[in-house]
Amino acid sequence: MSEMRKLAQLFGIETDYYDIHGNHVQIEDEVLVNLLGSFGEYSQNGSGWKENIHRKAEEIAFPIPPVIVASNLEITFIPQLNWLVGSLFFTREDVILEIPFRVENQKWSFPLPPDLEWGYYPLNFEIRTTLNTLYYKSFFIFTPKYCYLPEGKNFWGLNLAVYSTNTRKKQEIGDLQDLRLMSNLLKKYGGNFLGILPIHLLENRMPYGISPYYPADRLEWNPIYLPLEWVAQILAANHELNAPESFSLFMDRSPQDPSLLNYESAWKRKDQILRSFFQIWRKREINSADLNKKSFSDFLTNEGIRILHSAFFQAYALRQGWDFRSWPLDFQRGDKGAIAQFIDQNHEEVYYFVFLQWLMELYLKTHFQSSDMLAFDLPVGTSPTGIESWLNQDLFVFSQRVGAPPDDFSPAGQNWGFPPANPWKDRENHYSHFISLIQANMKYCSFLRIDHIMGLYRLFWIPEGCDPKCGTYVRSFFQDLLGIVALESHRQKVIVIGEDLGTVPPQVREAMRAYKILSTRVFYFESDQNGFIPAPNHYPRETMVTIGTHDMPPLKAFLEGKDIDLREKLGLFTSEEATVQHQIRQQRIAGVKSRLIEWDYLREPDSFDDFLEAVLFYLSKTSSILKIVNLDDLMKSDIQINLPGTITEYPNWRHRLVVCPDELEKIIQKMASIFRL
């Protein structure tokens, strides 16, 4: 093995891997050199990569890492040869405890307090050597052994896209009031799960600023989902603004295509009204009786400088564009003085964006924090030009993009367009960014779905501008990240779901089982040894079962092969490939129907209504803890939400459902009659 490949492996860069068909893929040297360069590693003239290898190997072998994540109350390591004695100074509730070392089998051991609570603790080591005294800092994260998962409880419910479910009014886009209506109906009929596509902050601009899985910031929410009637009510602004007349801005202007959402139009109109609300609210006198003013002040204090910098970004982006890489250098680099001056000179504009986040947080806290039903979805990445990337420029590797290697789903591979985080830098920073992501996204929910959970183990890096075939996997600190997820899961009593579809190494699913993270099981893909759908009792208990996902066709389209026709139309399949896919699909459907008939779930094979009901009955009988159905399937939609591999070729994330509350209640009631059996 070459020196360069040895160094790549030390960094967790995989020099080869096996694809979905089991074929061995050897990574080209130039790809590995490119990836090493993104870690700041370059060949030294004369000595090649030897100095780099020596330095990295020493770093890895050093006894005290920058952060220690563990579920036991003891810190142990093998000391270096010239270390004589040592003490650990452990800070707990502002009290510093000195813990002397003890020797066990040539290891140093530091026993921690037996009543220590799960959490985060700074560490300071004092080491006496043969020559002097050394001081090292580290960070201890004490975690449970697995995630929160109440025993003996089952869950069923819906999964949906909030933007598509405008149930009450003609305001172009579904909002949090519509989500609350869904929640109340599910609760009324015994449902206890409501999953939604991510509602994080977006640019709300075509074509790249609308995907919920390409957010500008995963720590903030998209105010396009604010219900205007609720905002008017909470601010007591109905009279001053003449709210009903203002809301007619939406109702008097029908979109050109009512089946498709126009984010820019919807946000432009909603932004206009929200700014009026802000002006009314801002001009009121601050007094002790105004709970909203106090709530806003508390929010600003709790969120700290980050919320101000995020608000600055949005205000500045309206003038200079949403790609911070094109800004003047001071602002591009996040110069604190330049930012503070802009905020001082544009105080009202900046604080408007703080106001929007406060309203989003207030609604979620008021209506969902104690609902025991809501499930959020954490995307695997963030836009390279957005707020999160700008605020963490030392963490993200902008010369690389994340994606997936070629497989049956995407023969050319996938480039998802966002930069990976540097796992070594993340570890060096005590995983502070990852912790903040998990904490923020668990704050108001009872379930958290982690998109592409394999990303905690490894991500597929692609050098910017290159074909996905030129990428390879880069590993992260898997056990550390799982420990943090388990800690926050218990702290906030949140059940964790992992999206583990596709080419997933066995050690990922083994770890998910050990950590009680629910595995995702999709009806379309599940097969027994003979290629048929498995019997319902063959599903592992710690799983979530569903018909399909947002990247797959609804059941009606699946039966009709519309997704295959669409891929052929857009050139993603040749006519020959489409013919083969149709044949495979028909065989699959025939096999599914034969089993459903055999189990007496299906009486009328040619009726879609009967087939849908049979599939729901099948899901209800599985031994999975969590059973969910996409609203699109219940509404008998034949339109796919998202077609992977397309951006402008297909209207992803824009399709709307025509949802009448009375009809919705009947559908949920019927679903409940099946799932409560």
User: 122-148 pLDDT, tens per residue?
Assistant: 999 999 998 999 999 999 999 999 999
Q: How far apart are CA 594 and CA 62, in angstroms?
A: 60
Lowest average pLDDT, out of 213-217, 432-436, 656-660, goes to 656-660
pLDDT of 169 > 80? The answer is: no
pLDDT of 676 > 90? The answer is: no
The pairing of beta strand 119-129 with beta strand 107-111: unpaired
Is residue 554 classed as helix, strand or coil in its secondary structure?
coil
Q: How far apart are CA 399 and CA 40, in angstroms?
A: 11
Instruction: Give the model's confidence band at 371: pLDDT under 50 very low, under 70 low, under 90 confident, else very high.
Output: confident
Q: What angle (nearest 5°) sits at the alpha carbon of residue 229, between those of residues 226 and 235?
A: 85
CATH topology assigned to domain 163-516+647-675 = TIM Barrel (3.20.20)
Q: What is the pLDDT of residue 677?
A: 63
Of residues 289 and 568, more confidence is placed in 568
DSSP code, position 360 = H
Give the HSE-up count for residue 357: Cα atoms under 13 Å, Cβ half-sphere. Answer: 28
Q: What is the pLDDT of residue 252?
A: 44
Q: What angle (nearest 5°) sits at the alpha carbon of residue 666, between those of residues 665 and 672?
A: 85
Q: How far is CA 4 from the centre of its chain?
A: 34
Q: What is the pLDDT of residue 530?
A: 80
pLDDT tens-digit readout, 525-559? 999 888 889 999 999 999 999 999 999 999 999 99
CA 614 to each of CA 208, 502, 524: distance values in angstroms, whole numbers, following the listed order:
38, 26, 14
- Adjacent-strand bridge partners of 135: 126
First to last CA, the chain: 60
Q: What is the pLDDT of residue 20?
A: 81
pLDDT (mean) for 239-246: 59
- Adjacent-strand bridge partners of 92: 95
Q: How far apart are CA 648 and CA 468, in angstroms?
A: 19
Instruction: Give the model's confidence band at 288: pLDDT under 50 very low, under 70 low, under 90 confident, else very high.
Output: very low
Instruction: Give the model's confidence band at 438: pLDDT under 50 very low, under 70 low, under 90 confident, else very high.
Output: very high
Select from 499, 493, 535, 502 the least CA-distant residue to 517: 499
Is domain 72-142 given the CATH code 2.40.50.140 in the classification?
no
pLDDT tens-digit readout, 644-660? 888 899 999 999 998 88
- Work out the burial of residue 561: count CB atoms within 10 Å of its CB; fewer than 13 is exposed, 13-18 middle, 19 or more buried: middle
Q: How far apart are CA 163 and CA 142, in angstroms?
A: 39
pLDDT (mean) for 171-177: 90
Q: How far is CA 292 from the centre of its chain?
A: 30
DSSP code, position 52 = H
Lowest average pLDDT, out of 3-12, 232-241, 243-252, goes to 243-252
- What token pair was written down for 618? 């099948």
Q: What is the pLDDT of residue 78?
A: 95
Is residue 584 classed as helix, strand or coil in its secondary structure?
helix
pLDDT of 67 > 50? The answer is: yes
Q: Which residue has the tokens 């997704």?
A: 563
The answer to whether 72-142 and 163-516+647-675 have equal CATH topology is no
Instruction: Give the model's confidence band at 157: pLDDT under 50 very low, under 70 low, under 90 confident, else very high.
Output: very high
Instruction: Give the model's confidence band at 245: pLDDT under 50 very low, under 70 low, under 90 confident, else very high.
Output: low
pLDDT averaged over every residue in the chain: 93
Number of other CB atoms surrounding residue 346 within 10 Å: 16
Q: What is the pLDDT of residue 246?
A: 58
The pairing of beta strand 155-160 with beta strand 83-92: unpaired
Instruction: Give the model's confidence band at 170: pLDDT under 50 very low, under 70 low, under 90 confident, else very high.
Output: low
- Largest CA-CA distance found in the chain, in angstroms, rounded: 85
Answer for the pair 549, 449: CB distance below 8 angstroms, yes or no: no
Q: How far apart are CA 51 and CA 62, in angstroms?
A: 17
Element (H, E) at 352: helix 347-367
pLDDT tens-digit readout, 297-342? 999 999 999 999 999 999 999 999 999 999 999 999 999 999 999 9
Element (H, E) at 522: strand 518-522
Q: How far apart are CA 199 and CA 224, in angstroms?
A: 9
pLDDT of 346 > 80? The answer is: yes
Q: What is the pLDDT of residue 593?
A: 96
Select from 597, 643, 641 the least CA-distant residue to 165: 641
Q: How far apart are CA 264 and CA 269, in angstroms?
A: 9
Q: What is the pLDDT of residue 327?
A: 97
Claim: this prediction has a pTM higher than 0.85: yes
Q: How far apart are CA 478 and CA 481, in angstroms?
A: 5
Select from 441, 595, 463 the least CA-distant residue to 526: 595
Q: Which residue has the tokens 């003085």?
A: 337
pLDDT (mean) for 74-84: 94
* DSSP H helices in 555-606: 555-560, 562-569, 575-598
Residues 6+ positions from 607 with CB-CB distance below 8 Å: none
pLDDT tens-digit readout, 246-286? 565 555 455 566 789 999 999 999 999 999 999 999 887 55
Domain extents for the chain? 3-61, 72-142, 163-516+647-675
Of residues 358 and 253, more confidence is placed in 358
Residue positions counted in the chain? 677
Q: How far apart are CA 286 and CA 667, in angstroms?
A: 47
Answer for the pair 428, 354: CB distance below 8 angstroms, yes or no: no
pLDDT (mean) for 456-473: 95
Q: What is the pLDDT of residue 388?
A: 98
Q: How far apart are CA 294 and CA 286, in angstroms?
A: 9
Q: At what angle do helices 29-38 and 3-10 cross, to 10 degrees?
A: 50
Residues 6+ positions from 613 with CB-CB distance below 8 Å: 674
Is residue 13 classed as helix, strand or coil in its secondary structure?
strand
Q: How far apart are CA 249 and CA 170, in angstroms?
A: 10
Q: Which residue has the tokens 């609350």?
A: 180
- What token pair was written down for 276? 């009026």
Handedness of CA 179, 182, 184, 187 (dihedral sign): negative
- What token pair was written down for 52? 């780099």
Q: What is the pLDDT of residue 602?
A: 95
Q: How far apart are CA 624 and CA 154, in angstroms?
A: 8
Q: How far apart are CA 485 and CA 439, in angstroms?
A: 9
